[in-house]
Amino acid sequence: MKWKNLLLNWRVLLLLIFVIGSFASIIAYGLTFGLDISGGTAITVRLEKPVDQNTMDKVVTSLTNRINRLGIADVKVEPWGDQYIIVKVANVSEDTVRGIKETIEKQGVFYAEFEGEIFATGEDIVQVFEYRIEPSTYRWHVPFQISQKAAERFAQLALNKPGYPVDMFLDPPVNSLLLVSQETYNVMKDEFNAQAPQAMSLPERIKKAFNIDTVVYANQSIDEIVDLAKDKDLVVLIGVNGNLKDELESRGVRVRVIERGKDETTYDLITKALGLYGPYSVGEGLTHGQAATNVEITGSSSNPYLAQQEASIISVVLASGSLPIKVYVEGTQYISAELGRDFKNQVLIAGIAALLVVGAVVYAHYRKLRIAIPVVSTSLSEVIIILGVAALIKWNLDLPSIAGIIAAIGTGVDQQIVITDELLGSQRKERITKRSGVLKRMGRAFFVILASATTTVVAMSFLFKFFVGGLRGFAFTTILGVLIGISITRPAYAEIAKMLLSEKKR
């Protein structure tokens, strides 16, 4: 009869409902494990400078859109303070990670230029179409549509200028000084005019469009170069002595060194340095003042895989728009799936061991199995409910989150001991089980429990609000465990313990 009454007690009934519901939630939605348990890659991204929350949200959204467009599943982009972002990717190949890093680092500022005049920017891109690759030459094409206004602007600029070069740039080094070799300069002057020798040369076009000065390096002194770079944002070294970098940086000059790749021609080196796609020659049909909105960026690669990867990145960057601030990939951390499985097994073993040890300690203290078993069972039910809620809201269970669960269990056991001691104290001192006396002691026990829970929740709330990364997981699961404890498991345990202890006395 006692047990029947206990099962019908609303506090115990509530605990059973939550445990059953949590099992259903875990089965239906499954647990989501963090990178440190499931294995994968974490890419640390640094923003050029600290930003406000609004800018951080824009960067996170833009990066998320870009990576999603690459067709990669299970990607998480999380802000880390006001200057860092962590991109977490589940198990993918090294080539895929390289593609993600290249996609991230593309700021994505697009310009279309003709004779030094910018006639379209990223804001004029209306739609990006599916890219295609020529299987025989590995030449790729990314077609897209620009606005009618930009198309009309280009039609006016290109009027009666067939064969003139049209350039498209992605992240050019705006307001910079290019320090180049004589050979590189000659190529820039002679080989970028498409079919119109009378057109402006490439150095002239980029000077007019982006305030990029091109200077031939002829062993000028550091002072002379610093003077040339005055009021510039950047110095780009193309095919010249790379040792200049350290000397210029020691003078407070930002420097970018463009190194020649294997089998890379001077022409390719220049296009890489400028983020230039083209130049394209203006066809006869486009020089009669008719606006054309469909354009494309093309390029070529040494094999079909690289062609597909490059076309995909360009397509994604054009479609997702530019980032509001420059970002850099600071580092990559790789955790193998096998190591993650080991972590998971170790965590499971540690959790079971912790519960058993807690049960043994409680038994050693009270010498009563009817106390030790309910304490362990209540703690176990608390873990199940926490995991059920985590599964329901798709919370990432990483190692700090699991540490938070263990911390919540420890707090819970402490509070159950407080309840037990109050009940035993009632038996020893008063030798009565009057309902009023028990309620009084329970009230005292729950006052202590609520005070303890409040301080824990307040402390963890600050951690959750003002800290980022794994510590938030620790704070979240600790708060969740404490709330579940004071609202569900602790009241149920009090009823169970009250029944078991009073039953023995009779």
The tens digit of pLDDT for each residue in 153-164 reads: 988 998 888 889
The tens digit of pLDDT for each residue in 85-98 reads: 888 887 677 777 88
Average pLDDT of span 135-153: 87
Place of tokens 């996170």: 60
Nearest-5° Cα angle at 385, 384 to 386: 90
The tens digit of pLDDT for each residue in 176-232 reads: 999 999 999 999 999 998 778 899 999 999 999 999 999 999 888 899 999 999 999
Q: Of 290 and 147, which is predicted with more confidence?
A: 147
Q: Taking a C-beta distance cutoff of 8 angstroms, is the pair 132, 140 a contact?
A: yes
Residue 482: CB partners within 8 Å, gap ≥ 6? 408, 411, 453, 456, 457, 460
Tell whether the model's pLDDT for residue 170 goes beyond 50. Answer: yes
Confidence of residue 432 (pLDDT cuts 50, 70, 90): very low
ω before 50 within 30° of 0 (cis)?
no
| Residue 474 to residue 337: CA distance in whole angstroms | 23
The tens digit of pLDDT for each residue in 337-383 reads: 677 677 778 878 888 888 888 889 888 888 888 888 888 899 899 99
Residue 428: predicted pLDDT: 54
ω before 279 within 30° of 0 (cis)?
yes
| Residue 51 to residue 327: CA distance in whole angstroms | 12
Place of tokens 């005070």: 451
Tell whether the model's pLDDT for residue 503 goes beyond 70. Answer: no
The tens digit of pLDDT for each residue in 226-263 reads: 999 999 989 999 888 767 888 888 888 988 888 887 77
Q: Regarding beta strands 176-180 and 234-238, do their DSSP bridges make them parallel or antiparallel, or are they unpaired?
A: parallel
Q: Taking a C-beta distance cutoff of 8 angstroms, is the pair 232, 175 a contact?
A: yes
Question: 272 burial class (0-12, 13-18, 19+ CB within 10 angstroms)?
Answer: middle
DSSP secondary structure code for residue 49 in this structure: S
Residue 401: predicted pLDDT: 84
The tens digit of pLDDT for each residue in 20-42 reads: 999 999 999 888 887 777 777 88
Q: Of 115 and 92, which is predicted with more confidence?
A: 115
- The lowest-confidence range among 64-78, 190-204, 490-504 is 64-78
| Residue 349 to residue 178: CA distance in whole angstroms | 60
Tell whether the model's pLDDT for residue 281 goes beyond 90. Answer: no
* Domains located in the chain, CATH noted: 2-35+336-503 (1.20.1640.10), 109-316 (no CATH)
SS3 264: coil
Per-residue H/E/C for 411-462: HHHHHHHHHHHHHHHHHHHHCCCCHHHHHHHHHHHHHHHHHHHHHHHHHHHH
Place of tokens 């980022």: 468
